[in-house]
């Protein structure tokens, strides 16, 4: 279903409508272990989309065959790489992601995040994170030395958001070439580490002499980053993306609650997380307003569990059952069912190329 790199809805013949030539975009929020909720939502969408194919004896489609562009931040970026760059199925991704979270978070390294000299110590093993991601890549039959960027135009374009420490700015790492050129040429492993190395949880990641941490504060909800990337890729001189978009899906990791903390050493961390939560929701409101006509026309969708995940911390991998149950409850709500069906019908109309 992903649009052929050589084609463009603008250049297509009049017989080819937006429904079968428009671009399909996917934006994935950050959220640690709550990224499982993202995957459960995507599984529901993909299962519904693939049901007629399975009934007809056809092979199910994978996300990389559906979406023209996938962008993610933090663990959303990691999922974007797994689905789009490593071309994993949803089921394989859920299994790998669950095991990855367990391997990374089952052993806490430091009780206090404040070091003797007042610096911030990572709470978990950065080596465990590297080893866990390395296993996912190798299990897909891919070399750890393979570059994130694909020299030929990839069927599914993927980018991840990370934070360049020396400028404290959001930087995007791509699996595709961009007109302005790429300053960094990371491997798949380096890109995955750069987007998922949450400050205070893991050490920063070095790429070509520069240090990176995850881009959660500033782009935890990367919908506008996805829009900017798509505009740069496909809008040419017009800058008007909306007429070209067939389907734009944004998936969150669950609404967050507000915690009270007495430990002075944790207050800065909690304040940062609260800012991320507020920023994520503010971005969502701006996104839905900006794309209001697309929402009304059934082309733009936001899926995010609103109840049940408020108190699940980023590292609580043992809360998988709660994450699954809360997401299942959300997916069985009448309003959600209607929007998922509308989303699936939208995706199904687009012809495979």
- pLDDT for the residue numbered 18: 78
Compute the Cα dihedral for 217, 223, 224, 228 and give only its sign. Answer: positive
CA distance 300 to 297: 8
Q: How many H helices and E strands in the chain?
A: 13, 8
pLDDT at 279: 66
Catalytic residue list: 74, 214
Contact predicate 214/73, CB 8 Å: yes
Q: Which of 165, 226, 225, 229 is nearest to 194 (CA)?
A: 165
Closest CA to 312 of 264, 259, 263, 271: 259
| pLDDT value of position 2 | 73
Q: Residue 330 has what pLDDT? A: 97
Q: Strands 205-207 and 210-214: what pairing?
A: antiparallel
Predicted confidence at residue 205, as pLDDT, reads 92
Give the pTM: 0.88
Sort 196 into a burial class: Cβ within 10 Å, 0-12 / 13-18 / 19+: buried
| Six-digit token string for 31 | 């959220």
- The rounded radius of gyration (Å) of the Cα atoms in the chain is 20
Q: For residue 29, which of 329, 280, 217, 314 has the smallest C-alpha distance?
A: 280
Regions of the chain short of the pLDDT cut 70? 1, 3-16, 108-120, 237, 257-279, 351-353
Quote the pLDDT of residue 346: 93
Instruction: Give the closest residue to 273 by CA, choosing from 164, 138, 127, 113.
Output: 113
CA-angle at 260, arms to 257 and 263, nearest 5°: 135
**Nearest Cα to 336, choosing from 305, 293, 296?**
305
The CA distance from 141 to 290, in Å, is 41
Closest CA to 27 of 68, 61, 87, 86: 68
Instruction: State residue 126's pLDDT score.
Output: 92
CATH topology of domain 29-349: Cytosolic phospholipase A2 catalytic domain (3.40.1090)
Report pLDDT for 6: 43
Q: Where are the beta strands (DSSP E) in 69-153?
A: 69-73
81-97 exposure pattern, b = at least 16 Cβ within 10 A, e = fewer: bbbbbbbbbbebbbebb
3-state class of 235 per DSSP? coil
């Amino acid at each position: 279903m992903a649009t052929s790199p050589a084609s463009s809805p603008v250049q297509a013949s009049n017989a080819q409508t937006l429904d079968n030539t428009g671009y399909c975009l996917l934006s994935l929020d950050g959220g640690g272990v709550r990224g499982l909720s993202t995957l459960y939502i995507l599984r529901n969408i993909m299962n519904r989309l693939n049901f007629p194919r399975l009934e007809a004896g056809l092979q199910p489609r994978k996300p990389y065959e559906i979406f023209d562009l996938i962008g993610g931040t933090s663990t959303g970026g990691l999922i974007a790489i797994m689905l789009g760059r490593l071309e994993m199925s949803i089921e394989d991704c859920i299994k790998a992601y669950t095991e990855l979270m367990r391997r990374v978070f089952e052993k806490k390294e430091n009780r206090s995040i404040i070091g003797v000299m007042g610096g911030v110590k990572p709470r978990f093993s950065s080596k465990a994170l590297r080893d866990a991601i390395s296993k996912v890549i190798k299990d897909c039959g891919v070399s750890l030395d393979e570059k994130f960027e694909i020299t030929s135009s990839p069927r599914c374009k993927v980018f991840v958001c990370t934070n360049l420490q020396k400028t404290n700015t959001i930087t995007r790492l791509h699996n595709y070439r961009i007109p302005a050129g790429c300053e960094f040429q990371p491997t798949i492993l380096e890109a995955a580490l750069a987007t998922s190395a949450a400050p205070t949880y893991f050490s920063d990641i070095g790429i070509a002499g520069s240090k990176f941490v995850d881009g959660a504060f500033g782009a935890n909800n990367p919908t506008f980053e996805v829009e900017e990337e798509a505009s740069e890729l496909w809008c040419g001189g017009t800058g008007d993306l909306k007429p070209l978009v067939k389907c734009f899906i944004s998936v969150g990791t669950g609404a967050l609650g507000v915690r009270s903390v007495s430990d002075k050493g944790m207050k800065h961390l909690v304040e940062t997380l609260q800012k991320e939560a507020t920023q994520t929701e503010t971005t969502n409101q701006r996104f839905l307003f900006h794309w209001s006509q697309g929402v009304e026309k059934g082309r733009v969708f936001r899926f995010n569990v609103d109840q049940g995940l408020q108190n699940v911390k980023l590292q609580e991998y043992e809360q998988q059952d709660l994450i699954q149950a809360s997401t299942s409850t959300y997916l069985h709500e009448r309003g959600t069912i209607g929007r998922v069906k509308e989303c699936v019908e939208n995706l199904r109309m687009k012809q495979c190329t």
